[in-house]
Structure 1
Amino acid sequence: MDEKKMLERIKKSAEPIDVPESLKPEFMEDILKEKEQKRRKIPLYRAGAAAAAALIALVALWQINHIGMQQEDRPQMEGSTEAAGYTEAAGLEEYVKETGAPEKTDAAADGAGVIPHVSSEEELYLALADMNQAMSRDMGYGALTGDMMKEEGAVPMDSAPAEDAESSMESTAANNGDYSQTNLQEVGVDEGDIVKTDGNYIYALYGSTVRIIKAEGENLEKISEISLPEKDEEVHEMYLDGNVLNLIATGNEASIDEQEEDVYFIDRKSYTRVYTYDIHEKETPKLSGYTEQEGYYKTSRKNGDMLYVFTEYTPIIKDTQESSTIMPRVSGGVMPLEDIYLPEYADQAGYLVIASVDVKQPEKVVDHKAIVSAADRFYVSTENIYGISSHYENGRDYTQILKFSYRDGKIKPAAAGDIRGYLNDTFSMNEHEGYLRVVATDWNNDEELTNLYVLDENLDVYGKIENLAPGESIRSARFLGDIGYFVTFRDTDPLFSVDLSSPKEPKILGELKVTGFSAYLHFYGENKLLGIGNEVDPETGEYKGIKVSMFDISDPSDVKEIDKYVLKDNYHCPGIYNYKAIMINPEKNIFGFECEENYLVFSYDGEKGFVNEFLYELKDKEEFEVYGNGTRGLYIGQTFYLSGSNGIEAFDMERGFEKTGGLTYE
């Protein structure tokens, strides 16, 4: 999405709020442009995201009268490890000497040799207070107390991404029925979404209400619906596994604290709950139990019966340790000190909290860990969890990576690492045979460069290729076994293929230049790679529309673009930023996505190229959310369904997607 459309969406979302003139989007746009001229150049899509994050954070800050502060996209902090130029152990020693921060002690448990445990609550408080003071000095405020801080996401933003690994050429499911499933990043690791199906029923989540719809071809019948016990909670997504339905919701609690006579402050906290429902009887779903952990919801993953939930917890830091609240709570109990870690590079007073829940014992948290250092995005393989955060230091971008091993609900810190450059999304990472492969966009001497790293199990650089594609940035990546593909972009789209069979010595195999760029890649059957992105005029740099490309990868050293399809003057497709909004099954030869005010379904023919099987106009149809991530396409057998906030419509794929039925929610 370009900056103009991003700002238009922000402006619309802020309409119900009486915001001061100085914080309105049109004023903020000018301010951000002025500031941007004084900073380094960054790609347009990053600038737009930064503008959105900054504006939303400022509006929220004004609205709640300094109850909270957005911590994402943080500036450089005086006295932090970034300001001290810390990248190695020697840098840490210098930082400790300059700031007086407490030195880390030896840890006693597994994983703590790399990510140290906290030795005492006093050490934890002092470290948090130092980070808090550093942040407040840089932001121009007095000391930030818990009254001025909020959980990240109190003003929700769409997440991507991405989060953003090894391709799911076909999604996982409880059985192999002919029905669509959530588009996953990693085979064997399930992800939540707002629409699910088991081949007989459709489960649609809109507005914190789940509707269970019996789907028999064109016949659609609402069987029941689920609303949470707490009416003010927001449901983000759900998981479906047989007759178990998990809903992930967030809520907020606030209390007033009298600091001195007639002076009151508001302490606000966010929590995340996993609600588990027994849906054996679809007419009467039953709540089996729930778990709760402090912090605003970031994302989650499911492997087998274990659901792993990631939240960001903001401690309440006051003038004394006794008056502060710095220990997160999980399932009503304070986390023990031995489950809290303090990395040497930590520079912001926010925690990443990871908890695991066995859906067969829905009121029990199996394990939990907290680490002082919030992560922005997550990549989860079948063996490990990777938390990713970015920072800008001494004129360069760095990506910090936290690694946790997990099995049967048990979570163990494993390693921490740091690479140059920033990641486009989590598809820029992939784990294979114990190695983590990462592609990142670096910035040096006012020029963007591409780096590829192969990290070993300790997240040390084992192999690398640096300084690729000068002046271009990463736009997409995908890995399959020993071969990786990534797209960089400036005026044309170089699609690189890389041989990773020797982790010590990765080698570039080929480079294909085509117009535009692919923002999302998906392996499409044997020897083919599908790309969805933007067409761009190579002479002027002008965006021409959405582009769908098919690449022949039978010879990775000589990749060819064999077909393309351009949706002229179309620019906004939620699936580019949220891959779960793409419906795709290469074996069935079908993929679909929302674009602007339409939903489109394609197939691919070796002779005809891309075939547009279905185009449905969403404009002026209240049942679908235009410009949102709320429209989902799915199929059961030969019936295709479009699910929106106000209903579901059915189409017969064997009769040219003829509309055959529908259901409107009351």
Structure 2
Amino acid sequence: MKRRGYILPIVFGFFSMFLVAYGFTHSDITVDHVNSLQTVDNVNDLPTIGSLENFKLLLEEYDEQQELYFADDLMFGLSVDISRDSGSFKESTALQDSASGGDYSSTNVQVQGVDEADIVKTDGKYIYQINDREIIIIDTQTPAKLEVINKIAIDDKTFQPTEMYLGDSYLAVIGYSYDSIKIPQPIIYDSAEPASERAMIASYYPTNTVHMKLYDIKDKKNVKKEREIALEGSYVSSRLINDNIYVVTNNNIGYRIMESKDSAELTPHYKDSLLGDEIEKVDFKDIRYFPDAIEPNYITIMGLNLGNFKNKATIYTYLGRGENIYASLENLYIAVNKYEYTDQTTSLLAPRERVPAYTNDTEIYKFELNKGEVQYQNKGKVPGRILNQFSMDENQGYFRIATTTGNIWRTDEFTSKNNVYILDQQMKITGRLEDIAPTERIYAMRFMGNRGYMVTFRETDPFYVIDLEDPQAPKILGYLKIPGYSDYLHPYDENHIIGFGKEVVETKGNTLQAGMKVAVFDVQNVNQPIEKFKVEIGDRGTESPLLTDHKALLFSKEKNLLAFPVTIVENKSGTPNEWGQFAFQGAYIYHLDMTDGFNLKGGITHLAEEDYQKAGSYWYDSEKNVSRVLYIGDQIYTLSNAKIKAHQLSTMNLTSEILLK
């Protein structure tokens, strides 16, 4: 490996962190001679790496292509959209809210029947909460007397739990550790290498480990840890379908491995307590790759049926990378932004007028899910980059995806545009709707059966209604332009969509964020959608975790209930570009129907009066900040790390509260 193979990827790595923050990632390449290693005759039969020699050959090709791409863009400057960065309804399923089968709420998820991990879960009798490094179990069967019946201490000092799944008899807690599960090998440097470059090379050594701890919770007061699985890498996401869990991780491959001769160190490792204390490694013969999409990264998918603590876990490893996932009841889709270098001849005197030296696409890998097992199916590619998981959807065998191409700051043909693509079961594009809202980008997307709803933004909020009934010919049915924008769209019913985002104000020719905005869009007349109701909360600086995390929403159409955490800032100066003063942190509880719109039932805070007095103009990330809201029966519960409060849903009178710390 030439010396340039070290330095360029290191520099590129630092720019990668910047690119990822704004939806940009590494380049896609084609390995010209990789077919000599193994040819793909069947779309379901990916080739394996096979050996250390083939592995290094693949990464050398990637490295050389990165040098061409990156050297070109260093000369002209990276074309990065630095605008503000921050859903799925299956026709065969009912409109969903945050309610489960019983009279209690569940996690707000994208697809009915596909559970998503969260920091709080309930079974209607008990609430389970991740609270720093403990799992707290609260008995709610007597709301007037809440009781903490157990605090599950994490026995691993390096482990930080982040989210969990709840089953009838198990609790699956997912988290991370910065300690590698394998012993790091010494890194040997060339003594002539500058010290600063040696430090950068060392920083590429992967240390993240994803853990899943399984607990038997049949006896709530005597919870037992039954099993632990550790996967080398960083957590991407997970899903739970009928007790079958699927966990996706990324594992960056450090460039120092090009000097290594120990293949055992170069492949992902994992540990399963069911198999003993031994650390298992994935062999090159078991790692598959996508011939036209080589990445210095491993995707690992773990599948496991949680119905029995002794069930075998299946581990699948691919040379590739994942950023967002979408899961239906049958399939898992892993999406990743890709950059592909394109040769060009342009003038050095007008870099902004040149044709971009790369194309920005999204690649999607499709896997079939079957009782904890995973089978690769196909790979597709569409132009542009996606926003988040709600940019993807599956309906009646077709995969739909919404993307943004170009850059919002450009005014020529390479300005930002928005698109919807429909792919068949072989992940081939069958229909496309392109060039929507030039100069803007997608802020929110939601697919609902034969329709899609898109919000783009730059100065106003165009809300588009898209017809997806014909997979070969998607089309715009109607649109509405209003001030503000939505970050998240949630179905109310077949004809109404709730948007959560920000209001905006115009001042001195600039568009500025104002307070939080919640609106109901009426799409009964698809050609002329209207904003039927809206409510503005606070002023500039008001925030809610709901705007970046859909799991923070509590919604029940049956109960006419809408609730979410919010931190409110109020500006009494009358000057829109000034930040106001902190006024409230807690949960806002609304009654919502399609006759009277939004009716604020009350705000529930965990802060004492002295907290507000001490706060002055600002507030911070406190243990008393409400992070989740749920209901059980006629009680609504607000949760922070400091306490839990129960209120009567009909009257909003306080029933009880309990301190957790």
Q: TM-score range by the shorter chain?
A: 0.7 to 0.9
Q: Does 1:557 align with 2:545?
A: no
Q: Confirm or deny: 8 A CA contact 1:102 1:126 kept in the other structure.
A: no
> Corresponding residue for 1:437?
400
> Corresponding residue for 1:329?
269
Q: Confirm or deny: 8 A CA contact 2:16 2:24 kept in the other structure.
A: no
Alpha-carbon distance in 2 for matches of 1:634, 1:54: 41
Q: Does 1:659 align with 2:654?
A: yes
2:214 alignment partner, SS class = strand
Distance change in 2, residues 1:435/1:423 (3 Å)? same
Alpha-carbon distance in 2 for matches of 1:76, 1:230: 34
Alpha-carbon distance in 1 for matches of 2:234, 2:136: 25
Paired AA for residue 551 in structure 2? K
Alpha-carbon distance in 2 for matches of 1:424, 1:280: 40
Unaligned runs of 5+ in 2: 1-12, 72-84, 192-197, 273-278, 341-356, 407-411, 568-584
Q: Does 1:606 align with 2:594?
A: yes
Distance change in 2, residues 1:447/1:461 (3 Å)? same
Alpha-carbon distance in 2 for matches of 1:624, 1:222: 27
> Corresponding residue for 1:206?
131
Q: Does 1:377 align with 2:347?
A: no
> Corresponding residue for 1:582?
553
Paired AA for residue 652 in structure 1? Q
Unaligned runs of 5+ in 1: 1-52, 59-69, 83-91, 141-160
> Corresponding residue for 1:641?
637
> Corresponding residue for 2:112?
187
Distance change in 2, residues 1:131/1:496 (3 Å)? same
User: Could you tell me how far 1:662 is from its partner in structure 2?
Assistant: 1.0
Alpha-carbon distance in 2 for matches of 1:323, 1:373: 21
Deviations 1:630-654 (A, max 9, x none): 7111111111111111221111122
User: Could you tell me how far 1:130 is from its partner in structure 2?
Assistant: 4.5
User: Could you tell me how far 1:288 is from its partner in structure 2?
Assistant: 2.0
Q: Confirm or deny: 8 A CA contact 2:432 2:473 kept in the other structure.
A: yes
User: Could you tell me how far 1:335 is from its partner in structure 2?
Assistant: 2.4
Alpha-carbon distance in 2 for matches of 1:74, 1:636: 39
> Corresponding residue for 1:62?
none
Alpha-carbon distance in 2 for matches of 1:571, 1:54: 32
> Corresponding residue for 1:166?
89
Q: Confirm or deny: 8 A CA contact 1:315 1:328 kept in the other structure.
A: no
Q: Confirm or deny: 8 A CA contact 1:291 1:362 kept in the other structure.
A: no
> Corresponding residue for 1:340?
287
Paired AA for residue 211 in structure 1? I
> Corresponding residue for 1:148?
none
1:318 alignment partner, SS class = helix
Alpha-carbon distance in 2 for matches of 1:499, 1:397: 26
Paired AA for residue 650 in structure 2? E
Alpha-carbon distance in 1 for matches of 2:14, 2:284: 34
1:645 alignment partner, SS class = coil
> Corresponding residue for 2:372?
409
> Corresponding residue for 2:154?
228
Q: Confirm or deny: 8 A CA contact 1:308 1:357 kept in the other structure.
A: yes
Alpha-carbon distance in 1 for matches of 2:419, 2:515: 29
Deviations 1:321-370 (A, max 9, x none): 52352222233322244542211343431111001111123354432211
Distance change in 2, residues 1:365/1:630 (3 Å)? farther
Alpha-carbon distance in 1 for matches of 2:283, 2:21: 27
Alpha-carbon distance in 2 for matches of 1:129, 1:212: 51
User: Could you tell me how far 1:207 is from its partner in structure 2?
Assistant: 1.1
Deviations 1:88-122 (A, max 9, x none): xxxx3xx53xxx7675522477712xx44334342
Paired AA for residue 350 in structure 1? N
1:170 alignment partner, SS class = coil
Distance change in 2, residues 1:338/1:508 (3 Å)? farther
Which of 297, 309, 313 aligns to 1:366? It is 313
Which of 118, 121, 134 aligns to 1:196? It is 121
> Corresponding residue for 2:227?
289
1:269 alignment partner, SS class = coil
Deviations 1:250-274 (A, max 9, x none): 2233545445699997965332222
Alpha-carbon distance in 2 for matches of 1:116, 1:561: 52
Paired AA for residue 309 in structure 2? P
Q: TM-score, normalised by structure 2?
A: 0.78
Q: Does 1:123 align with 2:54?
A: yes
Paired AA for residue 327 in structure 1? T
Q: Does 1:476 align with 2:444?
A: yes
Paired AA for residue 629 in structure 2? G
Q: Confirm or deny: 8 A CA contact 2:339 2:358 kept in the other structure.
A: yes
Q: Does 1:246 align with 2:172?
A: yes
Distance change in 2, residues 1:510/1:208 (3 Å)? same
Distance change in 2, residues 1:526/1:54 (3 Å)? same
Q: Confirm or deny: 8 A CA contact 1:291 1:365 kept in the other structure.
A: no
Alpha-carbon distance in 1 for matches of 2:39, 2:98: 42
| CA RMSD between the two structures | 3.3
> Corresponding residue for 2:476?
508
Distance change in 2, residues 1:119/1:640 (3 Å)? same
1:615 alignment partner, SS class = strand
Distance change in 2, residues 1:476/1:103 (3 Å)? farther
Alpha-carbon distance in 2 for matches of 1:627, 1:542: 30
> Corresponding residue for 1:419?
382
Pairing of 1:29-178 with structure 2 (within 5 A) = 81-82=28-29, 92=30, 96=32, 103=36, 105-107=38-40, 111-112=44-45, 115-131=46-62, 165-166=88-89, 169-170=95-96, 176-178=101-103
2:547 alignment partner, SS class = helix
Alpha-carbon distance in 1 for matches of 2:189, 2:471: 65
1:427 alignment partner, SS class = helix
Distance change in 2, residues 1:356/1:71 (3 Å)? same
User: Could you tell me how far 1:452 is from its partner in structure 2?
Assistant: 1.1
User: Could you tell me how far 1:72 is from its partner in structure 2?
Assistant: 7.4
> Corresponding residue for 1:280?
218
Q: Does 1:537 align with 2:505?
A: yes
Distance change in 2, residues 1:492/1:103 (3 Å)? farther
Deviations 1:140-186 (A, max 9, x none): 9xxxxxxxxxxxxxxxxxxxx99x7227843588x622111100011
User: Could you tell me how far 1:223 is from its partner in structure 2?
Assistant: 0.3
Alpha-carbon distance in 1 for matches of 2:641, 2:523: 39
Paired AA for residue 314 in structure 1? N
User: Could you tell me how far 1:595 is from its partner in structure 2?
Assistant: 1.9
Q: TM-score, normalised by structure 1?
A: 0.77
Distance change in 2, residues 1:560/1:336 (3 Å)? same
> Corresponding residue for 1:49?
none
1:510 alignment partner, SS class = strand
> Corresponding residue for 1:594?
565
Alpha-carbon distance in 2 for matches of 1:292, 1:426: 25
Alpha-carbon distance in 1 for matches of 2:358, 2:39: 33
User: Could you tell me how far 1:625 is from its partner in structure 2?
Assistant: 4.5
Higher Rg: 2
User: Could you tell me how far 1:523 is from its partner in structure 2?
Assistant: 0.9
